[in-house]
Amino acid sequence: MARDTSDTTPLTSRDELIAWFSDGEKPATRFALGTEHEKIPFYTADRTPVPYEGERGIRALLENLGRETGWEPILDGAHIIGLANNEGGGAISIEPGGQFELSGAPLPDVHASVAELDEHLAATRRAAEPLGIGFLDLGMSPKWTREGTPFMPKSRYRIMRGYMPKVGTLGLDMMLRTATVQVNLDFSSESDMVRKLRVGLALQPVATALFANSPFTDGRPNGFLSRRSEIWRDTDADRTGMFPQAFEDGFGYEQYVDWLLDVPMYFVKRGETYHDVSGASFRDLMEGRLPQLPGERATVSDWANHASTVFPEVRLKRFLEMRGADVGGPAMIAAQTALWAGLLYDESAVSAAWDLVRGWTASEREALRAAVPRLGLAACIGGRSLGAVAAEALTIARAGLQARARRDASGRDEAIYLQPLEAIVAAGRSRAEELLAAYEGEWAKCVDPAFSECTF
């Protein structure tokens, strides 16, 4: 997330919290796609991580990119921590370990998202090359230890770093060493949100398997195809996971708000100061009895910021975020956007996708979520291999994109971007499996070749 929101309007009732979500509803004619991806920077000369400070650090990279793009710097005290495009939307941010993130603008179709990505990568290369910086397109840094990874000077991350070890064993790995790709999608009503949320949650393990791309940790295979996904299973049970409540009868905005109210807070921001209230209750903030800030009451900013600190596999804000995939190269980033646009932005497609998953039980979904980081497409649910489920989901997504009929200058619809995923299903092998084969073969059991072969 590039920038915490700043809206000091007081919040005094649960109904206002519910309305914050419902205000995100849009007519289908205004649906957009927002693609986010992270990439791990490294020094090309010696394959070491990039610190924040120094003549060739992350600060210098952001300053160079700001000059390339003309985007406005985002500051945290004296530190530049991102860039904002105040005209077209979109932003650059840094994750705790220096992962460089593009939060793309809301765009009408996958073609526009791909053009945005191409422009961003070209500008980033121009900014990075004079500094000797390259970027990995892997879902986890393959070589550096957690302790050897730099920590970025961002106030909310300092608070999270202190809290994470209290609620799980792998939260710091998530913060410092992983990289993801997400797509954000709109909804038109509460019922439309619920249906898309359920389909997205149920099929998120399919995305995890298709995009599995984090098989190395600390310089060797880690036993998983998506170690990034497995890390999330021991990060913070209060705010992560498959969110089974979404499948309960009567689920909607109210139930999501009640869950979010019970998730412990990280921080409260007042002015430019982040107050550490980790573990505190938003309900207490609403009532002015937060022990760390007596008498302080909740604002719209507090609610929006709190909503950004939960991490289920699909997250509801004023849009829906699909969160289950490891990052990959440009073609895989485009494929992530195309997959979910195809499944969720055509009425026939979303109905067919719901028919595909509606018979799965909560225990089956949880078992699949647990199995897929290690087994990928070989995992099973409902007596079927996940590879077979993925093939059917891709057929639905292709039909959905063809029905959308959004064409590029050459007359091609968005289904062209599904081809990398269709190739993975046809081969039965994710990129992680290809990389493991390379490690055992031409890489001679060394991960260093990743720094030349797995880059943007």
pLDDT digits (tens, 9 = 90+) for 207-265: 999 999 999 999 999 999 999 999 999 999 999 999 999 999 999 999 999 999 999 99
pTM of this structure: 0.97
197 falls in which pLDDT band (50, 70, 90)? Answer: very high
**pLDDT for res 72:** 98
What average pLDDT does the segment 425-445 reach? 98
Q: Which residue has the tokens 């609403």?
A: 286
Poorest-confidence range of 2-6, 105-109, 237-241, 417-421? 2-6
Token pair, residue 253, equals 């905005």
Is the predicted pLDDT of residue 4 greater than 90, yes or no?
A: no
Is the predicted pLDDT of residue 5 greater than 90, yes or no?
A: no
Query: CA torsion, points 211, 213, 214, 220, in degrees to nearest 10?
Result: 150
**pLDDT for res 1:** 54
Q: How many CB atoms lie within 10 A of CB 188?
A: 15
**pLDDT for res 140:** 98
**pLDDT for res 6:** 75
Asked if residues 18 and 307 have their Cβ atoms less than 8 Å apart, the reply is: no
Give Cα 153 to chain centroid, integer Å: 21
What average pLDDT does the segment 319-335 reach? 98
**pLDDT for res 2:** 62
Q: How far is CA 92 from CA 14, 69, 75, in A?
A: 33, 11, 12
Asked if residues 200 and 339 have their Cβ atoms less than 8 Å apart, the reply is: no
**pLDDT for res 139:** 99
What average pLDDT does the segment 170-188 reach? 98
**pLDDT for res 88:** 87
**pLDDT for res 3:** 64
**Which of 345, 53, 298, 403 lies closest to 196, judged by CA?**
345
Q: What is the mean pLDDT of the chain?
A: 97
Is the predicted pLDDT of residue 412 greater than 90, yes or no?
A: yes
Is the predicted pLDDT of residue 318 greater than 90, yes or no?
A: yes
Q: Which residue has the tokens 């007081």?
A: 10
301 falls in which pLDDT band (50, 70, 90)? Answer: very high
Q: Would you call 359 exposed, middle or buried from its count of C-beta atoms within 10 A (0-12, 13-18, 19+)?
A: exposed
Pairing of strands 314-316, 91-94: unpaired
**Which of 422, 314, 430 lies closest to 372, judged by CA?**
430
**Percentage, residues of the chain above pLDDT 70:** 99
